[in-house]
Amino acid sequence: MSLDVASAILQRRATKVFDPDHRMTDAELDTLLGLARRMPTAFNIQNWRFVAVTDPELRAKIRAVSWDQAQVTDSSVLLVLCADIKAWEKSTTRYWENASTEVQQFMTGAIDQY
């Protein structure tokens, strides 16, 4: 798979209408989430979690508190992005556990200044 960033940016759209009968396959969802998990972040913190909501009753409840937006229930999968903006404070060394001690010490010291 090749990536043409300029084309992706120029063709990007906020999709608001979905075919409510279409369902993504598990493989398609796994691919999508796999790509999302690889998005870069400062200090490799990756302080997010993705929640795939597929239960129709739960999606209807979420829609009720989401300004009744049809895409909440009509899309194949509702992805909720959760972020922990204080994740870096919990265990700074975990981000570089596979790096050399020298790198760990440098990065742990640097993140406090971030």
Looking at residue 42, the DSSP 8-state letter turns out to be: G
For the segment 22-47, the average pLDDT, to the nearest whole number, is 85
- Does residue 68 contact residue 16 with C-beta atoms inside 8 Å? no
Q: How far apart are CA 88 and CA 94, in angstroms?
A: 9
Share of the chain above pLDDT 90, in %: 33
Choice among 35-39, 41-45, 47-51 with the minimum mean pLDDT:
41-45
Q: What is the pTM of this model?
A: 0.68
**Structural domains for the chain:** 15-111 (3.40.109.10)
Whether pLDDT at 2 is above 70: no
9 Rama class: left (phi>0) / alpha (psi -120 to 50) / beta: alpha
**Average pLDDT, rounded, for the chain:** 85
Residue keyed to tokens 């981000």: 95
pLDDT tens, position by position, 62-111? 999 999 999 999 999 999 999 888 877 777 777 778 888 888 888 877 87
